[in-house]
Each structure stands twice: as structure tokens, then as C-alpha cells.
Structure 1
Amino acid sequence: MGWIAACLVLVLVVVAALSFGQYGVSLPEAFRVVTARLTGSESGLPSIVDTVVWNVRLPRVLCGLLVGAALAVSGAVYQGLFRNPLVSPDILGVSAGSSLGAICGIFFSLPVFAVQGLSFAGGLAAVALVYGIGNAARGRDPMLMLVLAGIAIGALLGACISLLKVLADPYNQLPAITFWLLGSLASVTRGDLISILPVMVVGLIPMVLLRWRMNLMTLDDEEARALGVETAKIRLVLIVAATLMTSAAVSVSGIVGWIGLLVPHLARALVGPDFTRLLPASLLLGAGYLVLMDTLARNAASIEIPLGILTAAVGAPFFLWLLVKSARGWA
């Protein structure tokens, strides 16, 4: 019953997102537009209603579902791999690398698809560099080496981002850079959805196939190897999968924080730490949470609030509440 309730809540959030906005559309109208488009018939509604629902809001909602699910699932994987509840998907520098790639594209006035491509490539390159440095260090604790390398590379990439912000044109480029860093789904299109969906699927498949072994990866490496798990190979596969999903998400939405940190905690409180249940719970909650935040961002004020601001404003107090509740033994 819990899974059915979660799916129903997600459907309600999606329907509300299609209806609410600066141009009001009733729930029956939104349903008629989507149904007519899928069946190839006419909705019988004004063309502006059809355009708003099908061309503007539906791609944004679907991208929100993908981005939220990707960030939440990646956060759950990283927290399990690093055995640390405070880990988020940007621990290995993927967000910093994606940001630097996108800012380079904006700085050199490249088209949107090039900015997104550089963002995706930057996230992958940053994690590859961190993983290479972590392997070269070969310390007693490989996870600690990865974390330390991620902190150092993230700081270096952050310095490069700050330098480009100083050098950017303050009237055109700097506002675009700042807006991208705050996160938003305002400019997503159906093409963005098509471009990130295959990457998301490729990243999700190894997580699903390795969901049983993921439970063992939360143990110490020696204990996991004693149970027959090849920790180094599985860790690499899962890091690559989570990085692919995070980089694809950041490339279209910018930096949207707190989802990869908060949602896995909420999912864990609802279904427990077993990854076979934690994975789908994080996916559903992350997708619904981001679409809900995006709907609030569009409707809470006369201008659109950047997603990064809203997710932090809502996520931080809720995360503190979860910590207090867990400490008191209520969860």
C-alpha cells in the first residue's frame, strides 16, 4: 500500500505542475491536452492552452522528474558507498566540474547545446581526475583517499569558476552564469529530455543489477570481500553510473542542491536501509520532490525563484528536523 500511495502522490504532483502557473489551466483541460496529443486527436481547447501544457510545462515536468530521480538515486548510492550519511552526489567534484564546463561555454558565448555538452563532459572529467588521483595515492582507506581528492579538486575547480566570474562581462555573461549556478528548469526543452533520458537509463541499469551487492558495499572492504564481493570493481561501476546520472542532470538544470543529500535520508526513514527498497523509494521521492519545488518556484512569487534557493530553504530545515527525530529514536 505504501508504494501505491507514493505513486498516487507523484501523479498528483505531476498533474498539479501541469495545471498551476502564470497562465491557469484546469485539471480537466491539462488531462484533455495530454490525452489528445497521445492519441493524435484534437483537444478542442484554445491553441494557447495546448501550447502551454504540451510544449512548455510537460517537457519541464518530465525533465524535473528525471533530474530529481537522478540526484536522489545518486545520493543514495554515494551515501552507501562512502558509508557516510552526509555525502551528496557532488562529493567527488561532479557538480564543480559540470559548473566549470557550463561556465566556460557561457564565457565563450557558445550555443545552449554546447554549454550543456561542456557541462556534462566537465562533470565526467572531474570525477575521472579524482578517481585517478585516489588510485594513485593508494592509501589504506581508498574511500578516504577519494574524498580527500574530491575536496581538493572541487576547491581547485571552484577557484577557476570564481576567476571566470571575475573576468566575465558583468552585463550579459555574469547574470547568465549566476542564474545557471542557482539552478532552474525554466529553459528546458523536449530536446533536453531526449538527450538526457538515454544517459539516465544507462546509469540506472547497473544500480538495479547491483542492488543486492550494494547492501554489502556498506560494510568494510575486508568484510565485503570475505563475502565474495569484488569491492574495487563494483565501486568503480557504481561511481561511474552515479556520475553519469548526476552530470546529465546538472547539464540541463544547473546546480540544484540538497536533493541528493535529503531525499535518501527521507527514503531510508520510510523503507529502511535495504537498497532493494531504498533505490525505488529514492527515485520516486526525488522525482516528486523536485517537481513540487519547481511548481512552487514558478508560483510562489511574481518572478520565478531559482531552484537552488528554494531547495536549500526548504531542505535545510527539513533535514535538521529529520536529524532531531532520528536522534530521539522516532524514525
Structure 2
Amino acid sequence: MLVEMVPLSILDLVRVTEASGVRGALDNARDLAAHAEGWGYRRYWVAEHHNMVSIASAATSVVIGHIAAGTQTIRVGSGGIMLPNHSPLVVAEQFGTLAELYPNRIDLGLGRAPGTDQMTLRALRRSPAAAERFSEDVSELQMLLGEPVPGQSIKAIPGAGTNVPLWILGSSLFGAQLAAEKGLPYAFASHFAPQQLIAALRIYRRYFKPSQQLTAPHAVVTINVIAADTDEEAQYLATTKLMSFTNLIRGQFQLSQPPIESMDNYWSQPEKSQVMSMLARTVVGSKATVARGVADIVTETEADEILVVSDVYDHQKRLRSYQLLREAFEEHG
């Protein structure tokens, strides 16, 4: 049973596959969001990554606009914008514009990592040292999206007064501490870096200070879920994810690959160990299997919301994965 059934949301990496191309990936994201809206998912987030051929969401605010235009009620946002890559003013203007176009539907999740390599970071015209100003940049962004104060000489237009809700994203204790200090909702990236999940949640809840945006902690746990009609089919579909992470640790960036029957000849034992450690918060299987697996994570973490990545190669099977997960919640909640 899924304890006090928590809201489900989606984090989409907008994967470019060997079959889809970039335009297909973007349209698939919009199609998935429309289905997710009908199935009752709460929000749909996309993430900022650069110089990665398999991810089409580099221009994150543009992608959010594309998805929001194809939906009616689901919240759409960033999971996240890598704030050290940008000036807070530019981010405020972009998300202020989105908020004017799609009122009360836009989320602004913020991360401190660059979402790319150091060479690309320099091409973005930002210094690696920009991450050291993350806390100050978050405060500046809050100011720019809030109501202007007397004497404020620089305003985000659009943006000022929209009060787009901010989220802090992270995979370490730093983000938990910052989210608690600023009284913001917090999303932990346990879909690829689960090691400090429990410690981070404990810190966030213990030190949370109520704010104008949020009166009580709201902790989101991001996990991988791949569901299919049988456990065997789900395990087969999951090899796409396993290959992507194996390639990642090899420093190889390539298009998302179709699933294979066995990983035995694809990875080495050390690679397997590293990938499985990174993907420890992953639930793969039939509807009943994912119901039990997600319920265990909800119980362990006391998550207020689950953000789901379902990295399935075939678009129709990816839709099916999210549909089965939603049905599992409805039937076992």
C-alpha cells in the first residue's frame, strides 16, 4: 500500500534517441506532458544540460514554453535551471514571461551544478567560481520576482510581481541546508546520486525556517521508475538507462540507445558496480512490483512528493510506463 498516497510528478530529460531526433524528442515531451496531465500528475519538469547529444532541453525556458503551450493545467517548470550559468536578471525575465503566458503554472527549480563540462561552462561565459555565489543569486532572484520596493533601480520586466515559486535542487547536504534556511521546497536528485538522500532530508526538515512562500517543509524525492506489463519486459526496457549511465562513466556521450537483451557483454564488473550504485533509487517491474518499490521509498523517506524519471527508449512504451505507475498509485493507495 502506498502510504498516504503522495503526489506524483515527472522529470523529463527530453532524451534524443536514435529514432526521434531533436524535434521528435521535444514533441514527445509535449505529448507525454499532455498525457500526464490527464493521468493526474502534478508537475512536469525539464532539466538544463549542455553539450550532450542525447538531451534536448538546453534552452530550458524555451522547452518549458513548448510544453506549457500543449497542456492546460499541469504545472511546468525546471528541474532545474543551473543558476551559476546565468545572471539572475535574465532568469527572472525568462520565467516572468512564462508566468505571464501561463499564470499559476510555472515552477523555477534551481541547481548549483553547471549541468555540463568545464570547457562548455566557459563557453557559456560563466566562471566556475560563479557557483560560490549561489545563495546570493537565489536571494537576488527572489527579489527580482517579488514586488518591487521603493528605490529599486533594476526590475525584471516581465518578472517583477509574478512571485514564481522557487525550488532548491540538490544531491548533497548543501542544497538541503540552503532550502531550509530560505524556507523553500527541496528536491533531492536521488535518481543519479542517492548516497546522501536520507541525511539531506533529515537536515532539511530539522532546520527548515518558514517563509512567505512556504510555511512547512516540502521534500521531493526524485527516483527512476520503469514499469511495463511484466517484470521481464521492464527489465529489458531498463537496459537503455543502464547503457546511458555506463556511457556516462566512460565519458562517452551519445544518443539514447534501444534496449538490449543482456548487459553482460556491454559493461565490465567495475562499471556495473558504479552504475548500480548511482541507480540505487530505481524501481523496475510490473505494476505490482513498482507499487511495492515506490511505497517502500515513500515510507523510508516520508517524501511529500515523488518526482519520476522513466527513461524508456520507445515513446509509446514510455507513456505506458508512466500510465502503469499512476494506475499502481490509484489501485494501491
* Rg comparison, structure with higher value: 1
- Select the structure that is richer in strand: 2
Please indicate, yes or no, whether the TM-score normalized by the shorter chain is above 0.5: no
- Select the structure that is richer in helix: 1
How would you bin the TM-score normalised by the shorter chain? Answer: under 0.3
Q: TM-score, normalised by structure 2?
A: 0.25
